[in-house]
Amino acid sequence: MPEGKALPQLGTDLYHDSSSSHGEDREARSRIGASPEQKDYFQERDGVRFAGTHLIIDLWGAGRLDDLAHLEKALRDCVKAAGATLLHLHLHHFTPGGGVSGVAVLAESHISVHTWPERDYAAFDVFMCGDTRPQAAVEILRTALAPSRIEVSEHLRGRVGP
């Protein structure tokens, strides 16, 4: 590949130092390294063992979907309410008045968002493992974006049992 034409490593941010934490707790990031005595973060519910809960959240009739600062605060509030550990948060605004796409990378997985303000619609993915409460994000988003309708589907990822 010609010099200067190489693709960035997957997961890197072209515009910011990927080691920056935007104020997140660096100490929390150091606690997630692998070790032989590390806890198994799989969960069990109703006799089914699984890696984590993945919520697909559709918000219809929602507001403030082009407000970058407001969406950042909502994502941070979701992380806190769920009891998760924020590692990195990156949001991209598509022109003034346009949509926002982004991700909060968590020690426990991620929250992603894509908004279509022209349709008053937002799509969120909330995937978390370990001792977290991903369902808490639904109420945070309801309060922050005041949708007229919310559709939530839940998927148990990495099922081990029936």
CATH number, residue 62 = 3.60.90.10
Instruction: Output the pLDDT for position 37.
Output: 62
Tell which wins on pLDDT, 133 or 13: 133
Q: How far is CA 16 from CA 12, 83, 100, in A?
A: 9, 26, 18
| Residue 132 belongs to a domain | yes
Q: Which residues have a catalytic role annotated?
A: 109, 114, 129
pTM attached to this predicted model: 0.76
Instruction: Output the pLDDT for position 14.
Output: 43
| Residue 61 belongs to a domain | yes
| Residue 45 belongs to a domain | no
Tens digits of residue pLDDT in 50-92: 999 999 999 999 999 999 999 999 999 999 999 999 999 999 9
Residue whose token pair is 């993945």: 54
- Separation between Cα atoms, residue 81 and residue 37, nearest integer Å: 28
Q: How many domains does the chain have?
A: 1
| Residue 26 belongs to a domain | no
Tens digits of residue pLDDT in 137-158: 999 999 999 999 999 999 999 9
| Residue 92 belongs to a domain | yes
Residue-range definition of the domain harbouring residue 99? 54-157
| Residue 32 belongs to a domain | no
Q: Is the pLDDT of residue 3 over 90?
A: no
